[in-house]
């Protein structure tokens, strides 16, 4: 029982906060409960398909292929593939992290993982199309041109600034994913 309480302590604290809000302001409590419920339903609609795709990626893509395409010696091809995978992805950013975990498990280079996450968060094709229609092509292209080098620089700096033992620990943790 103690382990169960420890595992869900954050959730239980949030429930107590929600109950406290409802006690002091019923209208706000109802609204907060409805928003929480809607967010939970959104999460449940996204997470199961992501995990199904992760299982397929884990089984169908051999480790050797992932290492060759996005691993240590992948060079420009690895960066470009990571960028394209992130840009063509669909779903919220929190769905990128399990995908990144599988990529790490399969031997992808950490800088390529950072490029993948950066592309997922800033250069998704639907986002770019929305920006082009809502704010104009000039804005969209300007933001994209500014984001591209920043994504690459961040990916490179994260990997190069990380001590080798920390990098090894990350890959070891990914093996248990």
Asked whether residue 56 is assigned to any structural domain, the reply reads: no
Residue 63: predicted pLDDT: 84
| Percent of all residues in the chain with a pLDDT value above 70, rounded to a whole number | 100
Residues 144, 78 share a domain: yes
Asked whether residue 131 is assigned to any structural domain, the reply reads: yes
Residue 140: predicted pLDDT: 94
Residue 176: predicted pLDDT: 79
Write out pLDDT tens, residues 113-122: 999 999 999 9
Residues 96, 29 share a domain: no
**Domain limits at 29?**
1-46
Burial (Cβ within 10 Å: 0-12, 13-18, ≥19) of residue 47: middle
Residue 40: predicted pLDDT: 87
Residues 82, 3 share a domain: no
Question: Which of 83, 87, 81, 50 is closest to 67 using CA atoms?
Answer: 81
Write out pLDDT tens, residues 25-57: 999 999 999 998 998 898 888 788 878 877 887
Residues 65, 31 share a domain: no
Asked whether residue 100 is assigned to any structural domain, the reply reads: yes
Asked whether residue 74 is assigned to any structural domain, the reply reads: yes
Q: Please check the confidence at residue 6 and state whether its pLDDT lies above 90.
A: no
Higher pLDDT pick, 109 / 57 = 109
Question: Which of 39, 156, 176, 12 is closest to 94 using CA atoms?
Answer: 39
Asked whether residue 55 is assigned to any structural domain, the reply reads: no
Residues 129, 77 share a domain: yes
**pTM metric for this prediction:** 0.78
pLDDT bracket for residue 59 (50, 70, 90): confident
Residues 107, 75 share a domain: yes
Domain count, the chain: 2
Residues 93, 15 share a domain: no
Residue 116: predicted pLDDT: 96
């Amino acid at each position: 029982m103690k382990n169960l309480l420890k595992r869900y302590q954050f959730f239980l604290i949030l429930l107590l906060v929600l109950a406290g809000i409802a006690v002091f302001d019923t209208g706000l409590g109802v609204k907060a409960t409805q928003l929480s419920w809607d967010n939970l339903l959104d999460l449940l609609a996204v997470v199961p398909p992501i995990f199904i795709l992760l299982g397929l990626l884990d089984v169908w893509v051999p480790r050797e292929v992932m290492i060759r395409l996005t691993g240590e010696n992948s060079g420009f091809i690895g960066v470009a593939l990571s960028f394209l995978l992130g840009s063509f992805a669909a779903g919220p950013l929190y769905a990128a992290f399990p995908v990144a975990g599988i990529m790490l498990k399969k031997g992808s280079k950490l800088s390529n993982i950072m490029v993948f996450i950066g592309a997922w968060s800033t250069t998704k094709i639907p986002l770019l199309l929305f920006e082009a229609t809502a704010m104009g092509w000039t804005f969209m292209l300007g933001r994209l041109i500014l984001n591209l080098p920043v994504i690459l620089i961040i990916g490179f700096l994260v990997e190069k600034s990380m001590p080798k033992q920390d990098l090894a620990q990350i890959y070891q943790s990914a093996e248990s994913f």
